[in-house]
Amino acid sequence: MSQRHFGILCVLGYVALSWAVRFDMRRGEQIASLLYPLDTFSMYAPIPGAYMSHLLMRDATGEVHRVMAFRAFDCAEPVTGNGAPCADEHGIEYHYDDLIHYIESHRAAGEMNADLITRTWQVRSGAAPVHTSDCVIAHCKVSP
Amino acid sequence: MTRPLLRTVLATIVVVDLISFYFFLGDARTIALAEGLPIDPFSELVSRALVRGGIILIGVASAVAFARRPGRLWEGTLALAGLILLSTAHAHLFGSPWRHLFYSGLCLLGWLLGLAVSRRGGAPRDESYARIGSIALLGAAYLNAGVSKLAYGGGDWISGTPIQAVILGQDGLVGDGIVSLYRSWVVATPWAAGLFSFATVGFELAGPLMLVGRRVRLLVTAGLLLMHANIYLLTDILYWESMVFLVVFGLSWDAPTPETLRPVTATRSHDRRLAGAAVVLATCALLAIVHQSRRFAHPEPASAAASVSPEPPPIATPMLRQIGPFTLGQTVGQSWSVESFSISDGGFVAVLSGGPGRRAAFEVTCARTEHRSPFDLGAAHVFYSSDLDFPELEDVGREVQQQVRQAAAGHDICEQLATWRRAAMPPR
């Protein structure tokens, strides 16, 4: 068997096996193949919904900052769980979870007023996205 | 790149991934326990500090032994087994596999397959097939990424919309530097996002061409590296393992070593067997891709929810005229109107008509279920049921989803849903 033939068989075998079975997991449908290291690498393949959100901090002047630009968060309302508002506007789920985990692990007294928001855009084919809403999750005092 | 260097780089990244699993798996376990998520016995066992530490120690020792001499098939297999155990447990606990940790596993698997072929050919220390195996599986991974964009996203993926959405979701367009300006420009410039989408799919589909020859391999490698660099600039997503593999395998020489296995003289029957195997594998791959893309296009939630765990029948109610954001006869989307309502176990069902022979039921519910729908709103599900194909329902489904979202006005949708149901239910 020539090396090239061997390579072609490897490619075809990997593709066939990784697509043969796709399992649903907690974070999505058809997200996993039979066994590591088989995968279809479909992370960003599906067309996203018409709306996309991102978790941000909005200060008193209306300017937005990254959550990780701050090191201390003292929020008046719950930022997670069933009681937290904006539950349907998580954007990229794992990214949202990471940022919420960051806030919860940096609970401390803050100095500056800022709202924790999910900012939502409508994404349209062939056009620039439109900022549609800011949903306030919690009123916080934060420190950089 | 010489083969000892390739083997050393491969083993080093395997070691890095094995060690990093100690922390990733520990974090995933802690979060799963804190959130009270169900943990299967396998993941519970493997994620224990002592067990995962033991697996990592054995894996690292095996990878080091694999790196030290050519032809060490079993040591490499042991290291791969360690990665399999750790990645499987991590995916279960986290709820999704981490694909950036797959590249070390697939390059190692390709290397081991090549070693097995060499061993079978009587040259156990020859690594020329091993190198080709790694390149082949690296190329196959990119081919899969490109195919999945076409299978799941269709031609629309080339429009650039997914890239715009991912930048928004990852970055949030905070204006804090030159990189942010670049991100904002790409998001606001559909043709640029479209160009990047096209190039991404093109270079990914070209992944297996890395087998063709060094010149083509260099070209594909350069394209894929540029793609990764651009993804990093646009989204902060860094696939450094795959970039390192692209550099070392993409720049490697095809020159044979003295130990290179001489290919068995091809016979006609041998060629026929190879061609037959290739045809069978290609057919299986094609059928599997078509099957998975159909599964994706026709998700099961509504019908599965009905057939697997039948919901109690909707509560018989007098003629409901309004519930939540919907009223009887209201136009939804361009050509649909609300025909009837009923109260279900965890929410309500709205039956919509889109003209003769076009009906669909949408159930908005917060009932706990394993099923998911593409129209879900966090904890609230928007299941659909219809004889129509999903593409025919997608627009009206999105419209129902959007109206529910807007009616909740930023409040918890499940709380709002409970309020809507109470308001709609007749007084007892």
Averaged pLDDT for residues B269-292: 90
Task: Please give the structure tokens belonging to residue B244.
Answer: 């390192």
What percent of chain A lies above the pLDDT cut of 70?
93
pLDDT band at B112 (very low <50, low <70, confident <90, very high): very high
N-terminal to C-terminal alpha carbon distance within chain A = 62
Higher-confidence position of B111 and B37: B111
Task: Please give the structure tokens belonging to residue B195.
Answer: 């160009």
CA distance B353 to chain A (A): 23
* Dihedral sign (CA A31, A32, A33, A34): negative
Higher-confidence position of B291 and B412: B291
Q: In this complex, which of B148, B169, B410 lies closest to A40 when CB atoms are compared?
A: B148
Mean pLDDT of chain A: 86
pLDDT value, residue B136: 97
Residue of B nearest to A36 (CA): B84
Task: Please give the structure tokens belonging to residue B116.
Answer: 């097995």
Mean pLDDT of chain B: 86
pLDDT value, residue A85: 63
**B242 to A73, B135, B137: CA distances (angstroms):** 36, 11, 12
pLDDT value, residue B370: 58
* SS3 state of residue B228: helix
Give, to the nearest 10 degrees, the angle between helix B214-235 and helix B161-171: 50
User: What single letter denotes the amino acid at residue A104?
Assistant: E
CA distance A47 to chain B (A): 5
CA distance A134 to chain B (A): 9
pLDDT value, residue A62: 87
Contacts of A49 (CB under 8 A, 6+ apart): B374, B398, B401
CB contact under 8 A, A47 and B154: yes
Among A14-18, A30-34, A41-45, which range has the highest average pLDDT?
A14-18
Give per-residue pLDDT as tens, B285-321. Answer: 999 999 998 888 776 544 444 434 444 444 444 567 7
CB contact under 8 A, B161 and A125: yes
**Residue of A33, A47, A59, A92 to mutate when probing chain B, most B C-beta within 10 A:** A47
What percent of chain B lies above the pLDDT cut of 90?
51
Averaged pLDDT for residues B137-157: 92
In residues, how long is chain B? 428
What count of Cα atoms within 13 Å lies in the side-chain half-sphere of residue B236?
10
With 0.90 as the threshold, say if the pTM is over it.
Answer: no
Task: Please give the structure tokens belonging to residue B45.
Answer: 């066992």
Eight-class DSSP state of A110:
-
- Domain boundaries in chain A? 1-45, 51-143
pLDDT value, residue A83: 55
Give per-residue pLDDT as tens, A52-80. Answer: 889 999 988 888 999 999 999 998 887 77
pLDDT value, residue B243: 96
The neighbouring-strand residues paired with A84 are none
Separation between Cα atoms, residue B347 and residue B314, nearest integer Å: 9
pLDDT value, residue B129: 94
CB-CB neighbours of B288 under 10 Å? 19
Lowest mean per-residue pLDDT among A70-79, A82-91, B380-389: A82-91
Measured in degrees and rounded to the nearest 5, phi and psi for residue B117 equal: -65, -45
Q: Are B411 and A85 in contact (CB under 8 A)?
A: yes
Q: In this complex, which of A12, A41, A48 lies closest to B278 when CB atoms are compared?
A: A12
Residue of A nearest to B86 (CA): A36
Picking from B285, B269, B330, B4, the residue whose alpha carbon sits closest to that of residue B143 is B285
pLDDT value, residue B265: 54
Averaged pLDDT for residues B326-341: 84
Q: Are B345 and B367 in contact (CB under 8 A)?
A: yes
Averaged pLDDT for residues B167-172: 89
User: What single letter denotes the amino acid at residue B114?
Assistant: G
Separation between Cα atoms, residue B425 and residue B428, nearest integer Å: 9
Separation between Cα atoms, residue B120 and residue B106, nearest integer Å: 21
CA distance B320 to chain A (A): 27
Averaged pLDDT for residues B101-120: 96
pLDDT band at B255 (very low <50, low <70, confident <90, very high): low
For residue B127, give the H/E element and its range. none
pLDDT higher than 70, residue B262: no
Separation between Cα atoms, residue B126 and residue B256, nearest integer Å: 10
pLDDT higher than 90, residue B348: no
CB-CB neighbours of B290 under 10 Å? 12
pLDDT band at B266 (very low <50, low <70, confident <90, very high): low
pLDDT band at B175 (very low <50, low <70, confident <90, very high): confident
CB contact under 8 A, B152 and A6: no
pLDDT value, residue B304: 41
Separation between Cα atoms, residue B419 and residue B423, nearest integer Å: 6
Lowest mean per-residue pLDDT among A94-98, B224-228, B302-306: B302-306
pLDDT higher than 70, residue B177: yes
Averaged pLDDT for residues B238-242: 94
**Residue of B96, B100, B217 to mutate when probing chain A, most A C-beta within 10 A:** B96
Give per-residue pLDDT as tens, A99-133. Answer: 888 988 899 998 999 999 888 888 888 889 888 88
Picking from B205, B214, B212, B211, the residue whose alpha carbon sits closest to that of residue B224 is B205
Averaged pLDDT for residues B117-129: 91
Residue of A nearest to B108 (CA): A37
Q: Are B137 and B110 in contact (CB under 8 A)?
A: yes
Q: Which ranges in A60-104 belong to alpha helices (H)?
A: 93-104
Separation between Cα atoms, residue B139 and residue B206, nearest integer Å: 8
What's the complex ipTM? Answer: 0.88
Give per-residue pLDDT as tens, B58-109. Answer: 999 999 999 999 999 999 999 999 999 999 999 999 989 999 999 999 999 9
Q: Are B273 and B267 in contact (CB under 8 A)?
A: no
Separation between Cα atoms, residue B18 and residue B422, nearest integer Å: 53
Q: In this complex, which of A6, A28, A128 lies closest to B190 when CB atoms are compared?
A: A128
Separation between Cα atoms, residue B250 and residue B271, nearest integer Å: 28
Averaged pLDDT for residues B183-198: 93
Separation between Cα atoms, residue B16 and residue B237, nearest integer Å: 18
Give per-residue pLDDT as tens, B351-378. Answer: 888 877 788 888 888 876 656 777 888 7
CB contact under 8 A, A9 and B292: no
CB contact under 8 A, A7 and B156: no
CB contact under 8 A, A30 and B296: yes
Q: Determine the Cα angle at B130 with ends B124 and B135, to 5°.
A: 175
pLDDT value, residue B297: 79
Averaged pLDDT for residues B164-168: 91
What percent of chain B lies above the pLDDT cut of 70?
89
In residues, how long is chain A? 144
